[in-house]
A and B are shown apart, each in its own frame.
Chain A
C-alpha cells in the first residue's frame, strides 16, 4: 500500500492531498456568480409629483393624449375591482411572488436590462454566403438566417433611445393624469389588500407599470420583431405584478395600457420616418465613398472582414437625432483626420504598431473590457449598464429613472449619428489597412476609423452622467478615457480618432444637457 519513502515523497503526498481537497472545494462551493446588477426592491426617495409638467421632448404634452376620468374610489365599479385582488393575494403562487419581487426592482431598470439582453442577442453580423456575398437582415422575415435585426452599435443606440425616450414621455403623461385624478391605489383604499411592491405614494390611475409595459412592448417588438413572444410575456408579467401587489386595479391597468399604446404610436411613426430605412445604401453609393476619398488624395477605408463586407450603416449619419438637428450634426462634425500620407499619420501609425507588437497584459485587459463587439450589448449598452447602478442607488421614481435613461440615450443616439456622419464623410482607413504588418488584440469593426465610435459614445455618455450624478463625474470621465484608449491598446484606432472622438461626444452631449437643465426636473 502507501509506504512512506522519505521526505520528498511525503511532500508529494501532501501536494496530492491538497489537490484532492481543492477539488472537493471546487466541486462543492463554486457555483454562485457575483452579479453586479441585482435590483432589490427599493422605495423611491421622492415620488416627483410635478413630473407631469416637465418639458416634453417628442410629444406636445399630456393634452395630446386622452385619459378618461376614472370611477371614484368610493364607486361601486371601483369597489368591485378590489375583491379579486384580495382573493388573488390570499393564494399567491411562488412564481407570482417571484414575479412581484422581480418588478419591485423598478420597471424602467428592468426594461433597460431586458433591452440590453435583446441587443446582445441580435448583435450578430450576417454570415457570408458560399459565393462570398452577405445576405441582408430582413425586417419582414426576422426569424431567418440572418436574423433581423443586426443590432450593431448605431442600431443599438437608436433602439435604446427610442425605448428610453418613449418611456420617459409616457411616464410624464402618466404622472400628469395620476395627479389630475388622484385616485388612490387599491392597497390604500382596502385594508384587506397588502402592498407587496415598494410604496411609491403615487395615485393609482393610470397604472405606471401598465404604461411602461405597453410603451416598451410596442417599441421593442418593432425593433426586435423575432423576440415578440418574450417581450409580450414580460409585459404581461409586469401588469400582473402591478395587480397582484395591490398597486393597481384592473381599471388602472386598462387605462395605463391604452395610454402606453397611444404614446408608443407617436414613436413608432417617428421611427418609420427617421431615415433608418435608408441607412444601408447601395453598392454604387459605397463605391462612391471610396472614390471621393481617393479623389482627395487619401487612402480610402476598406473592409477587413473576410470575405469583404459592406460597410456598416453608411447613411446612419442622416438618421434623425434627438437634441440635434441635421444642421447641428453637420456643424459639429470634427475637422479632417491627419492625411493618410502625412507625417502625423506616420507617427500615429507607429504608435499603434507599438501596441500591436507588444501590448501589456493590463492593456489587453482594458481592450477586452471595452471591446463591446459582436454578440455584446454594444458601447451604448455598456454605458446603460454603468448608468443602471447609479440610477438604482439613487432610488429614483420611475419617471426620474426614465429621464436619466432618456437623456443618456438621446445623447448616445446623437453621438451615433454624429460619429457615423463623420466616419463616412472622411472614410478613413484602419491602422491594419495602412500597415499590413499590424495585427490587433480584438476584432476590427467594419466601418471607417475616424472618429472612434467608442470615444464619441463615451465622451457623450460620461458628460450626461456627470450632469445627472455630479459626484461621479470624475469617475465617468476616467471611464470614458479608458474606453477611448482601449481602442488604441487593441490596435484598431489611431490616437487622433480617440481624442477628437471624445471631444466630439462631449459637444454632442451639450445639446442634451442644455435641454435637461431647463426641462423642470431640476427645480
Chain B
C-alpha cells in the first residue's frame, strides 16, 4: 500500500551520497587530504524530501505516504595521520516523516562509517596542472537498533558495508579541477523481524536478506582556492541486483535502488576565525529506480585543528 524508496540507502550503502553529502569535502569521495596532525571536524544538517518516486521504473506519487522527508544531523571528522594517509569517521542521527497515511516516521542514530584514505600519487601532468590519485577503504556498521523493514521511513538498511574507492583528480594551477571517483560496495546480510518475505519474484522462508552490491561513481568539475571550494557533480548509484518494487507494493530493503543525481557545493573558508569553513550543498535526483526523486539541501560547518 505504501511505496517509496529510501534516500538513506545511498548514504548507507556508500557512506557517501545522501546524508553525509554535506561534509563531502575532506571526506571519502573527494580529492582533498588533511595534512599530518590536522583534524577537520564538523557537523552538518541535511533535509531530503520527495513526493514522487519510481515504483520500479514507473514514476508516481502515493497518497499513503504523501511527501517523505528525511532529516539528518551528521558529525564527522578527518584526521591526517600523515600527509598521505587520512582517517575519516562519521555518524548521522536521522529522522523521517511521511505527510500522508497513518504510519509514523522513525528516528535514531544510524550507522558509523570509518575510512582510510591514501594518496597514491601526485604527479605533474603537462605544464597546466597535476594528477592526484587516491584510494579509500571504508567500512560502515549500524549503531542504532532501528528496523530496516519500513522503507522509506526506516532510517537505514541495518547492513554492514565495505567499500573500495579510487579517485582521480586533475588540479589545474589556476584553481580549476576535474575529478572522477568510483566505488564498489559490498553489503552484508540484513535480518528482518519477520520470518518470511517476498522479493524479486520469490518467497523467502527466512528472516535474512541478501543485499546486492552497489557501484557508484561521480564526476565533478569545479574551482578551488584558499577561500572557496566550488564543485559541481553528476553521480550515479547502480545497485548490482535486487528486485523492483511491485505495482502498489511497499519498497523493500534489497530493492534495486538506482539513481542519477546532480549537485553543487559551495564551501567558504573564513579568514576570521581562521580555521572555520561553512559549506552548503544542493542535490537533485534526475532519474531513478525504486527510489524517491529527492531534493536534498545540506548545510554544515567544519573546523580545523592543528596539533
Contacts and interface: CB of A to CB of B under 8 A. Distances in A.
Nearest to A114: B203
B206 interface: yes
Interface in B76-112: 79, 81-82, 84-85, 87, 100-104
A434 B197 CA distance: 32
Contact of A26 (B100, B160, B202): B160
Task: Tell me which of B1, B64, B188 has the highest count of chain A C-beta atoms within 10 A of its own C-beta.
Answer: B1
B306 to A, nearest CB: 13
Interface string B181-208: 0000011110011111110011111111
Contacts of B145: 361
A3 B137 contact: no
B6 interface: no
A439 B248 contact: no
Given A2-B81, A368-B194, 18 more contacts: A1-B84, A5-B82, A9-B87, A16-B114, A117-B198, A120-B203, A125-B248, A126-B248, A127-B247, A305-B63, A361-B145, A374-B248, A377-B196, A385-B205, A439-B103, A441-B103, A443-B102, A443-B103
Interface stretch (A27-35, A99-107, A155-163): A27-35
Interface in A1-31: 1-3, 5, 9, 12-13, 15-16, 18-20, 22-24, 26-27, 30-31
A3 B147 CA distance: 42
A35 B196 CA distance: 9
Given A22-B160, A368-B193, A37 B82 contact: no
B247 A146 contact: yes
A19 B203 contact: no
Contacts of B192: 368
Contact of A364 (B60, B82, B147, B187): B147
B1 A373 contact: yes
Contacts of B210: 31, 33
Interface residues of B, number: 61
A5 B102 contact: no
A376 interface: yes
A260 B103 CA distance: 46
B1 A125 contact: yes
A27 B162 contact: yes
Contacts of A24: 162
Contacts of A22: 139, 141, 160, 162
Interface of B: 1-2, 36-37, 60, 63-64, 66, 79, 81-82, 84-85, 87, 100-104, 114-116, 137-139, 141, 145, 147, 149-150, 160-164, 186-189, 192-198, 201-210, 246-250
A117 B102 contact: no
Interface range, A side? 35 or more
A375 B246 contact: yes
Contact of A443 (B2, B149, B188): B2
A36 B196 CA distance: 9
A116 interface: yes
Contacts of B37: 5
